[in-house]
Chains A and B, each alone.
Chain A
Amino acid sequence: MRSMWRYLLTRLLLGIPLLIGITAVSFFLMKMAPGDPLAHMMDPSINPDMLIQIRQNLGLDLPWYRQYFHWLRALLSGNLGYSMLTGQSVSETLVSRLPATLGLSLASLLVTLVGGTIWGLFTAWKSPHWIEKSLSFLAILCLSLPTFWLGMVLIIVFSLQLDWFPSSGMNDPLLYGQPFVLRWQNTLWHAVLPVTALSIGSMAAISRYVRYEAGSLFRQPFVLVARARGLSERRVTYHVWRNSLLPMITLLGLELPGLVSGAYLIEYIFSWPGMGQVLLSAVFARDYPVMMGGLLMTAVLIVLGSLLADLLYRVADPRIGKSV
């Protein structure tokens, strides 16, 4: 247990120089891209000399490394700066968007895991040949569907044609000021289509992993022994499921940051008020503070995600902790 804490502490401390490195390199790369927050203004009513003054106000006239150090210094005092485009504080911007993205991502993570596992186990578990084939085929089909296309199809079928779900948004604006429970129900209603669109692909991916992992596990001697000892098929499947978890933990650790940033297309199509929109428009507008804020957050998530996966691995597979 003690070694576990030490390991955790070491990993966290190692994360700090890693983050500084990531942010410095990214800042440099951002600055290499042409333009700045004011460069896109092609407006003949704006005198170019006036922009020089604004650049000075924003500190854009300094060399890139000095701008980076200013950013870093403010960060150490807990300030992510202000958007150069909107004037809003970056932490406020990100915090206002994070819940929508996390909600969408976690919901789809849950759906992916539960759905993918059941799908995979069902495919692997003694099903008739034709079911197994068609489920595998379905998985490959779902894997290859482009997300934006799938999203659009879901909207057209389930919102426009069948009118079961709203087409976009996170809740009905006209419920503004209504009781919390009512709005929550409404949000869940709005979430069905985007979560589905976001989950189907990764659910299919997980099902493939589980299917192969479980498929080979079902042929392992320990399953034979279990069956020989007269364990019910449910118990057998449970043991197989536990053993098939290992590769999924690695997958999860890798997917965590992707879940936050990867939902962008879905957010765009479904007008979901997440971070994707903010970060992408920040990139196009060269809104450096917002880009850096988003980048730092993603980097922290990557570091934490891989750490979490390692820790889970140690819990799930006792062989690993001991050998260190």
Chain B
Amino acid sequence: MLLSCFVLGCSGQKEPPVVKKTLRLRLAAEPGNLNPILSTDVYASTVEGMIFSGLLRVSSNMEMVPDLAASFEVSEDGKRYTFRLRKDVLWHDGRPFTAADVAFTMDVLLDPKTNTVRRSQYVIDGVPVRYSSPDPYTIFFELHKPFAPFLVALSMPILPKHLLKDVDINTATFNRRPVGTGPFTFETWQPGQFLMVQRNQNYYRTPAKLDQILFKVIPDTNTAIIALEKDEIDVLDISAKDLGRVKKMNPINLHTYDQLQYVYMGLNQKNPLFKDKRVREAIVRAIDREALVRHILKKQGTVTYLPGAKASWAYPSSVDVIHPYDPTASRALLTEAGFIPNAKTGVREKWGRPLSFILMVPKGNLDRERSAEMIQRYLKAVGIDVSLQLTEFQSLTQTLKAKQDPKPYDAALLGWSLGLDPDAYTVWHSKEYPNGFNFVGYNNPKVDDLLSRGRTEMDRGKRAIIYHEMLQILAEDAPYVFLYSPKANIGVHKRITGLASPSPLGVFLDIEDIDIRLVK
């Protein structure tokens, strides 16, 4: 069998055929652009990860390790970061990489004219990070106060100063023809069709084994599965409903891994119904979350009892089940809170006001829509009336971000993707309401304090203890109903070798190790 990934070099007959090792990946949509400072979609970051590199990178055990840096140290007080840079790094166009490029990237990030959403990571409590470079291979960062999540921000890809210093970064042609320092060089972008990157021969770490990586744009999931089956692509993310089909494909290996995300039902704390903790707890206890994972995720996920991801170091190794499924206890709690079933409707009420609310669900996400329907049934069983409101994502976010108090909604079914750092200040701190991501208006001084301590403590062990306590309180308080954390499934052709062991970072973490076994 001649594998389709080996292309015959030239159509002329004299030259011997050139066999290229091509890894073929699918992109569900085209990247917006390939400038890592400007782009916001996951498709762009997939491609950018091959082309660019940052001062630090994430290791397989989710620690920050040097990449463009040869070494780095953080001062005792956590305010000063010193980076010694590698001297053997070349841009893809052959120019040497220096600290000037790092400083330039920071300039661009902090420039208000740059349309980047990443600026927030370099402005701590309103004060921009300061940086300076005494020589071409050293750079300092100075923070006005210790801020542990800053380390993760230092994996930001570095941009070449010599190519961008005189252009408008927002509209530069560079954004579609990038030049980086990473393991692959940009080759071509055929709009709507594919992107291709080639191995960087001058890569400062071990050059990749692959000759090139092809990113095919295939929007439709069914078409993508057929492409996998037809051996037109090598790798594909598989949703739970397609697992059975892919399992039958002989040449495909399935890999499963946890993700740093969780799905929840946020309850607006400013709504009088949800002010009573007993009602919130009753709602949690009325929902069989195990059943959601079984029926909707087809067991491809885990129940989240805490607002974190199991794969994170800040997640406790053993968790007591907080507010487990118990409809009897749920009914008792509601009765205790004064909500008595109406004999006619079956809906509980207090002082003539029925216990009913509207749950907003983003349109188009089938798993969420079906989860919402199941939640509706579970809550009906204990006498809570839920109406579902399918909403386009844009108008849902507009509602949640409305700068008014109280915000105009009852509850919303959403998910959070978590960063590598467990800091969740912007989601739970009382200061982040109403203008922030604490859109449920959660307010607990104890949690506020733990959040502040968690981001200023530099020691990972001590931070873990702080976050364990915080997660426990949040689970008890139930400002959200924490539902589940879906697992990711990825189908990879058997000839692809060198995959990393499955982790939330995926199986293609060390792209340099990936190889293609030649079989005839």
Q: CB within 8 Å of B: which residues of A?
A: 33-35, 38-51, 53-54, 57-58, 82-83, 85-89, 93, 96-97, 100, 152, 155-156, 159-160, 163, 166-171, 173-176, 178-179, 182, 268-274, 277-278, 281, 284, 286
A215 to B227, CA, bound (A): 45
- Determine whether B123 belongs to the interface, using a CB cutoff of 8 Å to chain A: yes
Q: Closest approach, in angstroms, between the C-beta of B258 and any C-beta of chain A?
A: 20
A155 to B416, CA, bound (A): 36
- Looking at B7, B175, B424, B435, which has the most chain A CB atoms within 10 Å of its CB? B7
Known: A87-B170, A281-B29. A173 touches B216 (CB 8 A): yes
**Complex partner residue of A179 from B11, B226, B229, B424, CB under 8 angstroms:** B11
Q: Is the CB of B227 within 8 A of A167?
A: yes
**Complex partner residue of B120 from A47, A100, A268, A274, CB under 8 angstroms:** A47
- Pick out which of these stretches binds chain A: B68-76, B283-291, B323-331, B390-398: B390-398
Q: Closest approach, in angstroms, between the C-beta of B159 and any C-beta of chain A?
A: 14
Nearest-CB residue, chain B, relative to A270? B223
Q: Is the CB of B11 within 8 A of A57?
A: no
Q: Is the CB of A53 within 8 A of B112?
A: yes
Chain B residues, CB < 8 A from A176 = 187-188, 190, 196
Q: Is the CB of B190 within 8 A of A173?
A: yes
Chain B residues, CB < 8 A from A270 = 223
Beyond contacts A45-B419, A50-B120: 11 other A-B pairs, Cβ-Cβ < 8 A, are A42-B414, A47-B426, A49-B435, A100-B192, A167-B223, A167-B226, A173-B196, A173-B214, A178-B10, A271-B192, A271-B223
- Determine whether B377 belongs to the interface, using a CB cutoff of 8 Å to chain A: no
A43 to B170, CA, bound (A): 21
Chain B residues, CB < 8 A from A179 = 11
Chain A residues, CB < 8 A from B414 = 42
A282 to B469, CA, bound (A): 43
Q: Is the CB of B30 within 8 A of A35?
A: no
**Complex partner residue of A155 from B11, B175, B223, B426, CB under 8 angstroms:** B223
- Determine whether B80 belongs to the interface, using a CB cutoff of 8 Å to chain A: no
- Pick out which of these stretches binds chain A: B32-40, B478-486, B504-512: B32-40
A152 to B190, CA, bound (A): 24
Q: Is the CB of B217 within 8 A of A271?
A: yes
Known: A42-B414, A48-B436, A88-B175. A174 touches B226 (CB 8 A): no
Number of residues on chain B facing chain A (CB within 8 A): 65
Q: Is the CB of B394 within 8 A of A277?
A: no
Chain B residues, CB < 8 A from A173 = 190, 193-194, 196, 214, 216
Q: Is the CB of A39 within 8 A of B175?
A: no
**Complex partner residue of A87 from B33, B193, B214, B220, CB under 8 angstroms:** B33
- Looking at A42, A182, A268, which has the most chain B CB atoms within 10 Å of its CB? A42
- Looking at B400, B424, B426, B427, which has the most chain A CB atoms within 10 Å of its CB? B426
Q: Is the CB of A44 within 8 A of B33?
A: no
Q: Is the CB of B218 within 8 A of A168?
A: yes
Chain A residues, CB < 8 A from B465 = none
Nearest-CB residue, chain A, relative to B115? A54
The 8 A CB mask of B403-447 against A (1 = contact, 0 = none) is 000000000001010010000101100000001110000000000
Q: Is the CB of A156 within 8 A of B226?
A: yes
- Determine whether B222 belongs to the interface, using a CB cutoff of 8 Å to chain A: yes
A195 to B499, CA, bound (A): 39
Nearest-CB residue, chain B, relative to A174? B7
Q: Is the CB of A152 within 8 A of B188?
A: no
The 8 A CB mask of B185-214 against A (1 = contact, 0 = none) is 001101111101000000000000000001
**Complex partner residue of B401 from A48, A171, A277, CB under 8 angstroms:** A48
Q: Is the CB of B196 within 8 A of A35?
A: no
Chain B residues, CB < 8 A from A156 = 226
The 8 A CB mask of B112-155 against A (1 = contact, 0 = none) is 11011111110100000000000000000000000000000000
Q: Closest approach, in angstroms, between the C-beta of A199 and any C-beta of chain B?
A: 19
Q: Is the CB of B394 within 8 A of A39?
A: yes
Known: A39-B394, A100-B192. A46 touches B117 (CB 8 A): yes
The 8 A CB mask of B13-37 against A (1 = contact, 0 = none) is 0000000001000000110110100
Nearest-CB residue, chain A, relative to B218? A271
Q: Is the CB of B401 within 8 A of A85?
A: no
**What are 21 A-B residue pairs whose CB atoms fall within 8 Å in the complex?**
A33-B395, A35-B394, A39-B394, A42-B414, A54-B115, A57-B115, A82-B171, A87-B32, A87-B35, A87-B172, A96-B191, A155-B223, A160-B230, A166-B232, A168-B220, A168-B223, A168-B232, A176-B196, A268-B219, A277-B30, A286-B394
Q: Is the CB of B223 within 8 A of A87?
A: no
Q: Is the CB of B437 within 8 A of A42?
A: yes
Chain B residues, CB < 8 A from A50 = 117, 119-120, 123
**Complex partner residue of A58 from B115, B220, B226, CB under 8 angstroms:** B115
Chain B residues, CB < 8 A from A182 = 11
The 8 A CB mask of B68-110 against A (1 = contact, 0 = none) is 0000000000000000000000000000000000000000000
Q: Is the CB of B395 within 8 A of A34?
A: yes
A168 to B424, CA, bound (A): 42
Q: Is the CB of A33 within 8 A of B394?
A: yes
Q: Which residues 227-266 in B have Cβ within 8 Å of A in the complex?
A: 227, 229-230, 232
Known: A50-B123, A273-B192. A174 touches B416 (CB 8 A): no
- Determine whether B176 belongs to the interface, using a CB cutoff of 8 Å to chain A: yes
Chain B residues, CB < 8 A from A33 = 394-395
Q: Closest approach, in angstroms, between the C-beta of A172 and any C-beta of chain B?
A: 8
A277 to B119, CA, bound (A): 30
Nearest-CB residue, chain A, relative to B220? A269
Chain B residues, CB < 8 A from A163 = 230
Nearest-CB residue, chain B, relative to A173? B194
Chain B residues, CB < 8 A from A152 = 222-223
A166 to B233, CA, bound (A): 12
Q: Is the CB of B175 within 8 A of A87?
A: yes
**Complex partner residue of A86 from B33, B394, B436, CB under 8 angstroms:** B33
- Looking at B22, B171, B400, which has the most chain A CB atoms within 10 Å of its CB? B171
Nearest-CB residue, chain B, relative to A286? B394
Known: A39-B394, A44-B427, A54-B117. A155 touches B226 (CB 8 A): yes
Chain A residues, CB < 8 A from B400 = 42
A268 to B222, CA, bound (A): 11
A34 to B360, CA, bound (A): 15
Chain A residues, CB < 8 A from B193 = 169-171, 173, 271, 273
